């Protein structure tokens, strides 16, 4: 599981908006050119993106190992047929290419995750979604980043308490029930305190955000994104 790591790589110095736009453009191009040659070009591009973020391809692959299981299994599923000829290679190849494009898209997004601080992402979200909806999205996303580790430790304590009372031997339904009751209660208590604290600190619709600044470094990224976005028309 990869998360944001502070650094000074080219990937870190790029503007969050340019990186988000590039990922969407890359996905559009990957869906439009699901051919051998298209995948070859996009593979080189994906490796270049990982290089700018100094993330080794193996490490990136390891971080997406869970979805990879299904992506590797899908072509076999598509190729298998009930009855002769038992294996339809053509069908399998189509799904293999489709699976591979998803792998590339996921690899590119790991580069974004590693190089972009949550507060930059928040500023990019609020730039993309103006007005109050953007503020709600921005603050909500920041709170999720902030409270994820807190709720994780809450849940770890809940699971330890259940285990200490022999709950590990209970049925899945009973364990899920105990985790849910205690987890939701704790979460609501935290949300209560958080809402009170936000009001005490004058939570407003117009908070001051970190300034986003596009630099010369972003120009090639934007140009490349535009090319990828237009590539389905070629």
Partner 1 sequence: MNDTGQQVDLVDGEIVVGIAGAALMAALTGVLAYLALPYPWSPEPITLQILGIFLVGVFLGAKWGGLSMVLYLVAGGVGAPVFAHGQAGIGHLFGSSAGYLFSFPIAVVVIGLLAYGHTGMGDPSSLSHSRLIGSLVAGAAIIYALGIVGLMVVLELSLVEALIGGAVVFFPGEAAKIAAAVAIAQSGHVVDWPPQGIGQ
Contact 232, 42 (CB under 8 A): no
Which 181-220 residues touch partner 1, going by CB under 8 A?
Answer: 181, 183-185, 187-192, 194-195, 198-199, 202-206, 208
**Nearest CA among 174, 35, 201, 48 for reference residue 111:** 48
Q: Could you tell me how many residues of this chain bind partner 1 (CB under 8 A)? A: 82
Stretch that binds partner 1, among 36-44, 49-57, 118-126, 220-228 (CB under 8 A): 118-126
Stretch that binds partner 1, among 51-59, 96-104, 213-221, 224-232 (CB under 8 A): 96-104
Q: Is 1 in the site for partner 1 (CB under 8 A)?
A: yes
Tell me which of 25, 42, 55, 78 binds partner 1, using CB under 8 A: 78
**Nearest CA among 189, 207, 209, 182 for reference residue 147:** 189
Contact 179, 167 (CB under 8 A): no
State the CB neighbour count (10 A cutoff) for residue 147.
Answer: 15
Q: Is 175 in the site for partner 1 (CB under 8 A)?
A: yes
**Segment (H or E) for 134:** helix 131-164
183 or 214, CB closer to partner 1?
A: 183
Task: Find the shortest distance in angstroms from Cβ 212 to partner 1.
Answer: 14
Q: Is 226 in the site for partner 1 (CB under 8 A)?
A: no
Which 123-162 residues touch partner 1, going by CB under 8 A?
Answer: 124-125, 136-137, 139-141, 143-145, 147-148, 151-152, 154-155, 159
Task: Find the shortest distance in angstroms from Cβ 154 to partner 1.
Answer: 8
State the CB neighbour count (10 A cutoff) for residue 109.
Answer: 19
Concatenating the DSSP letter of every residue in 150-203 gives HHHHHHHHHHHHHHHTTGGGS-HHHHHHHHHHHHHHHHHHHHHHHHHHHHHTT-
**List of residues 6+ apart from 102 with CB closer than 8 A:** 67, 71
Q: Is 62 in the site for partner 1 (CB under 8 A)?
A: no
Task: Find the shortest distance in angstroms from Cβ 134 to partner 1.
Answer: 11
Report how far residue 17's alpha carbon sits from residue 213's, in angstroms, rounded to the nearest whole number: 10
Q: Is 169 in the site for partner 1 (CB under 8 A)?
A: no
Q: Is 40 in the site for partner 1 (CB under 8 A)?
A: no
Task: Find the shortest distance in angstroms from Cβ 163 to partner 1.
Answer: 12
Tell me which of 14, 18, 49, 99 binds partner 1, using CB under 8 A: 99
User: Which residue is listed with tokens 């979805």?
Assistant: 67
8 or 199, CB closer to partner 1?
A: 199
């Amino acid at each position: 599981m990869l998360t944001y790591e502070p650094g000074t790589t080219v990937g870190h110095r790029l503007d969050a908006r340019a990186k988000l736009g590039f990922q969407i453009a890359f996905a559009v191009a990957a869906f439009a050119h699901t051919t051998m040659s298209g995948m070859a070009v996009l593979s080189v591009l994906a490796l270049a993106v990982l290089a700018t973020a100094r993330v080794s391809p193996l490490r990136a692959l390891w971080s997406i190992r869970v979805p990879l299981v299904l992506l590797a299994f899908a072509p076999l599923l598509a190729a298998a047929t009930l009855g002769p000829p038992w294996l339809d290679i053509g069908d399998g190849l189509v799904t293999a290419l489709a699976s591979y494009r998803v792998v590339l898209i996921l690899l590119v997004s790991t580069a974004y995750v590693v190089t972009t601080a949550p507060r930059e992402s928040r500023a990019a979200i609020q730039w993309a979604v103006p007005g109050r909806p953007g503020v709600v999205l921005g603050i909500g996303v920041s709170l999720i980043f902030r409270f994820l580790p807190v709720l994780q430790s809450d849940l770890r304590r809940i699971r330890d308490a259940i285990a200490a009372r022999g709950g590990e031997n209970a049925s899945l339904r009973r364990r899920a029930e105990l985790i849910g009751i205690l987890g939701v209660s704790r979460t609501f208590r935290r949300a209560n305190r958080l809402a009170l604290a936000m009001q005490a600190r004058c939570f407003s619709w117009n908070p001051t955000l970190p300034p986003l600044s596009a630099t010369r470094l972003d120009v090639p990224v934007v140009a490349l994104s535009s090319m990828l976005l237009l590539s389905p028309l070629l």
